[in-house]
Amino acid sequence: MSELVFFSGTMDCGKSTLALQIIHNRTARGLQAVIFTRDDRAGQGKLSSRLGLVTDAVEVADDMDLYGHLVGVISRGGRVDYAVVDEAQFLAPGQIDQLARVVDELDLDVYAFGITTDFRTRLFPGSQRLIELADRIEALQVEALCWCGARATHNARTIGGVMVVEGAQVVIGDVDRAAEVGYEVLCRRHHRRQMTSASAAAGTLSPDVLPVNHS
């Protein structure tokens, strides 16, 4: 049985590296993929990892019908054994429905890779729909760490090194926090405090104390 599988995690969890590894392993077995991506850091029509690996991909536009695209490839005599979708959080919910249709009607495996929540800790619409429809959800095993050493569970956006909690859901940046728009993974504790590695280094952390009322 073919499956729609959602590989999910935070930034810095190695999702694009895993996507490229899956493609490499199946290519070595003679299988051919159609690779979709959206807003990759390497530019349009690219799937890249922070390790420097990169491959060509189909850039997904807002109005693109992914099911129709694959039907078109097959009808023109192209071979499609499975599909890979990176940056799946940026897809529209309707496009996720199209991926489910690919599995059900074309009998192709679809491997979708994406982060679950944005810098405001809210689900991306594409990720939410994947959680609702996926046959299987796999948490990526590469554990991202907050600057404090705890497990990172939240994505933070920084502008000029300062964490922000308002703004458009999608703004392309990178984990290079020296850039104007950057991203950093944090544990929940430090995301709630809006405390990035830069702000932590700027001052000495005070110990946690419980509030005490003096009579």
Query: pLDDT by residue (tens digit) across 110-152?
Result: 999 999 998 888 899 999 999 999 999 998 766 778 899 888 8
Q: Where are the alpha helices (DSSP H) in the chain?
A: 15-28, 66-75, 93-106, 125-133, 188-192, 197-202
| Residue 204: predicted pLDDT | 45
Stated pTM of the model: 0.76
Pairing type for strands 58-59 and 82-85 reads unpaired
Q: What's residue 181's pLDDT? A: 82
Please state, in angstroms and as integers, the Cα–Cα distance from residue 128 to each residue in 5, 9, 20, 112, following that order: 13, 13, 23, 13
The bridge status of strand 58-59 relative to strand 181-186 is: unpaired
One of 3, 87, 166, 184 is an active-site residue; which one?
A: 87
Tell me, yes or no, if 87 is annotated catalytic: yes
Q: Give me the residues of the chain with pLDDT under 50, please.
A: 175-178, 204-212, 214-215
CB 56 within 8 A of CB 35: yes
Q: What is residue 179's predicted lDDT score, i.e. its pLDDT?
A: 53
Cα–Cα nearest to 105, from 74, 67, 77, 72: 67
**What one-character DSSP code corresponds to residue 119?**
T
